[in-house]
Amino acid sequence: MAMTLGFIGGKNPSQTEAAAALAAECGYNALEFDYWRDFESLTDQDVEAQAAALSRHGVGISAYGLWGYNPIAEDADQKRHAHAMIERALGYAKCLGAAAMVLSTGDVRGEPLGRRVAIFIETMAPLIERIEAAGIVPTFYALHGNTFLSNLEAYERVWEQMPGLKMKFDPANWLGAGQDDLEVVRRYGNKIGHVHIKEAIFINGRVVSQPPAGMGDMLWGRIMTFLHEHRYDGCLSLEPHMDPWRSGEGLKMNLLLSKRHLSQFML
């Protein structure tokens, strides 16, 4: 299998029709839906409508994300609620045919890393198994959004006990956090389950623009080299993040220009 292109958009059911049509028009295979607390306002009817819109345009779902919840919280009610929302999201991900789920590990503040890892594995292993049994790849993202995966060492500590755990890899986030994105993908590209494409222009350490891929400071050729070396065959999901590139004509330009640049590195 070869890598495919998608983008984050259309999670609001009223926007799914237009997002799916734009994906088809611009030659993208899939959308990605990511939710924070707004997930709790979704209904079964909303998701059925989303599925119908995707089907009409021949567009799939690369990933279904549920971010910011704390499934390893010390507070029992908070933990219970997080697990209920993840279970509900799994049902919707199955309905939409998502290839991956993107989740937060949660965190237990004040505990040493080893203890956090142990709590995460004990708490989340059964849920991870259920996601995998549904034919969906569970992936966990780094650096922000209620996670203890704040650096590569934290992932390595989890992989010592759960080597099959997958990472959601966003090279711009690693670079923006002052960490080496190329070292992550060079060493652990085999553990990447989903990829975000987010360009960035840094001036004095600050992101001042996030234009189409290939028009900023990200080294996409090198990133793609290591993805190919590790035989990554999932989606490259474009993340339109800053104006004027994330809506309207700017978004369409972003999709077309990003596809032109990335396609040279794809089979």
pLDDT in tens, the chain (267 residues): 689 999 999 999 999 999 999 999 999 999 999 999 999 999 999 999 999 999 999 999 999 999 989 999 999 999 999 999 999 999 999 999 999 999 999 999 899 999 999 999 999 999 999 999 999 999 999 998 889 999 999 999 999 999 999 999 999 999 999 999 999 999 999 999 999 999 999 999 899 999 999 999 999 999 999 999 999 999 999 999 999 999 999 999 999 999 999 999 999
Nearest CA among 152, 207, 184, 19 for reference residue 6 = 19
| Helix or strand holding residue 26 (H, E) | helix 13-26
State the angle between helix axes of 44-57 and 13-26 in degrees (0 to 180), rounded to the nearest 10.
20
d(CA 226, CA 222): 7
The pLDDT of residue 144: 84
State the angle between helix axes of 152-161 and 181-188 in degrees (0 to 180), rounded to the nearest 10.
20
d(CA 225, CA 136): 26
d(CA 234, CA 149): 22
- What DSSP character marks residue 12? S
pTM passes above 0.85:
yes
Cβ distance 167 to 139 under 8 Å? yes
What does CATH list as the number for 4-263? 3.20.20.150
Cis ω for the linkage preceding 244 (within 30 of 0)? yes
- What DSSP character marks residue 121? H
The pLDDT of residue 1: 60
Q: Which amino acid is at 177?
A: A
d(CA 177, CA 147): 14
- Domain-wise residue ranges, the chain: 4-263
